[in-house]
A and B are shown apart, each in its own frame.
Chain A
Amino acid sequence: MLEIWNTYHQDILAGLKVTLTASIIALICSLIIGTVMAMLQVSTKKWVKKIGNIYVNFFRNIPLLIVVMFFFVVLPLYGIKFDGITSGTIGLTLYTSAFIADTVRSGIEAVSKGQREAGMSSGLTYLQIMYYIVLPQAFKIALPSLGNQFINLVKNSSILAMVTGADLMYTGDLIASTTFNTLGTYTLIGLIYLLMTMPLSYLMRYIETRTATY
């Protein structure tokens, strides 16, 4: 394993950089899209609610690989060309945002109705109520599950390997198939994923205890 690191650490670090970049971009974008979708889902207008529900159900119920492949091989047929990293990141964002939407939605629903009513009686608009009153509380409630979604996102980013995304997993595949040292390579790659996700779990737990209301 050490031998692999010594020979290929530059490639591994380059792959790690792609994995981190794709994960961070997908994390930020899916948090935004997910929150918007969650707000649509809790809307009182039926058709708005429907848009949110369709989005979430659609992406939650198809495999990530198919979403990614769609951007990598289907859209280019119609002249819209994405490289592996871009199609991987877009797929990852759309897919993760469906799960984040669900998490945030249940957070919003857990905020007591009185809070919204109080906002309305102070003359705030729907968006103001959401922004100032409901969402901050909803995020606090949803934080543990959001943390899980982020960890999943980092692991799921290995999907980039399937579409020439040059990420950590892709680099690992190439090293394993050059050296035939499958066990050593994947153990090393697995450890690096662990080094990314473990601090993330601790960070989430830390934020959780800091913001705990009870």
Chain B
Amino acid sequence: MVWGVKYDTKLFGLMNIEKREVEGFDIDIAKEITKRLLGDEKKAEFVEVTSKTRIPLLKNGNIDAIIATMTISDERKKQVDFSDVYFDAGQSLLVKKGSDIKSVEDLNDGKTVLAVKGSTSAANVRKKAPKAKVLELENYAEAFTALQSGQGDAMTTDNSILLGMASENPDYELVGGNFTDEPYGIAFNKGQTELVNQVNSILSDMKKDGTYEKIYKKWIKD
């Protein structure tokens, strides 16, 4: 089973260069699902996707499923089928410690916000702070580098991703709490109802037997 995963998102899907292996919450969930579906977690193959490429790759058949911090949205439901929610995230802001930005409303005084192309974050922040200037970069690493170099006053995306960055860079912190709900789902190409149902029941089993909790604690709560 070929999974589309992220390689640049600490805690969820990050390439460990030393081990030459991708690891994170999404990866462990995908491995567990593959194990219960096909009998062996080694049958899980991982392909790197970005927010921009993930849906086209799924449509082309390059990957069988996407597990890449992907929010379930009505717009996306027109393109793909989603599993049940496997993680509840919310959009937040990352700023340098001591910044005068305390909430998303503060962005409205003409502040510049950095986001990633193809993510829902840019659209959300435009709704919440219409006067903020939004710059969209290629990926999280570039957006964070741009934040460090002062190209923007804040960076926005899901708290789950920002937490990973803040854990690496203690000069930066999350502010303003979550201003959206971002329920993550696993995406499949349209018309694979049977597979989606199987995955949903696996997810629910994993929650019942404590496997989910174990993976959650491993990555999100140390």
Is A174 in contact with chain B by the CB < 8 A criterion? yes
Asked whether B149 lies within 8 Å of A164 as measured between CB atoms, the reply is: no
Bound together, the chains give a CA A164 to CA B150 distance in angstroms of 14
Instruction: Report the contact-size class of chain A (Cβ under 8 Å from the partner).
Output: 10 to 19
Rounded to whole Å, the gap between the CB of A186 and the closest CB of chain B is 10
Interface residue B79 (Cβ < 8 Å from any Cβ of A): yes
Q: Which one, A72, A73, A81, A177, contacts B52 given CB within 8 A?
A: A177
Interface of A is mostly: helix
**Is B111 part of the contact surface with A, judged by Cβ < 8 Å?**
no
Chain B's closest residue to A87 (CB) is B151
Q: Do the beta carbons of B136 and A174 come within 8 Å of each other?
A: yes
* Smallest CB separation, A163 vs chain B (Å): 8
Report Cα–Cα, A83/B51, bound state, in Å: 24
Question: Is the CB of B135 closer than 8 A to any CB of chain A?
Answer: yes
* Residues A76 and B149 in contact, CB atoms below 8 Å apart: yes
Candidates B55, B59, B79, B135; contact of A164 at CB < 8 Å:
B135
Q: Is B150 within 8 A of A76, CB to CB? A: yes
Q: Tell me if B136 and A74 are in contact (CB < 8 A).
A: no
Chain B residues in 8 Å Cβ range of A162: 137-138, 142
Determine how close the nearest CB of chain A comes to the CB of B97; give it in whole angstroms.
17
- B124 beta carbon closer than 8 Å to chain A: no
A32 interfacial contact with B, CB 8 Å: no
**With contacts A73-B145, A164-B136, A174-B136 known, is A180 near B79, CB below 8 A?**
yes
* Cα–Cα, bound, A77→B135 (Å): 18
B52: A residues at CB distance < 8 A: 173, 176-177
Distance in angstroms between the alpha carbons of A118 and B92 in the assembled complex: 72
Asked if A81 meets B56 with Cβ closer than 8 Å, knowing A164-B135, A174-B117, A180-B79, the reply is no
Pairwise interchain contact B149-A173, C-beta atoms closer than 8 A: no
B117 near A77 (CB under 8 angstroms)? no
Contact mask for chain B residues 51-65; partner A; CB cutoff 8 A; 1 contact, 0 none = 110011001000000
- Most B CB within 10 A of own CB, among A76, A77, A84, A180: A180
Write out the residue numbers on chain A whose beta carbons fall within 8 Å of the beta carbon of B79. Answer: 180
A16 vs chain B, min Cβ distance (A): 18
In the bound complex, what is the Cα–Cα distance between A72 and B146 (angstroms)?
8
The verdict on A137 contacting chain B, using a C-beta distance below 8 Å, is no
A164-B137, A174-B117, A174-B136 given; A73·B56 CB < 8 A: no
Cβ–Cβ < 8 Å partners of A174 in chain B: 117, 136
B55 touches A72 (CB 8 A): no
Q: Most B CB atoms within 10 A — which of A163, A164, A176?
A: A164
A sample of 17 more A-B contacts (CB under 8 A), given A76-B149, A173-B118, is A72-B146, A72-B149, A72-B151, A73-B149, A74-B149, A76-B150, A77-B149, A81-B150, A81-B151, A83-B151, A84-B151, A162-B138, A164-B135, A164-B151, A177-B52, A177-B119, A182-B56
Show the binding face of A for B, using Cβ within 8 Å. Answer: 72-74, 76-77, 81, 83-84, 162-164, 170, 173-174, 176-178, 180, 182
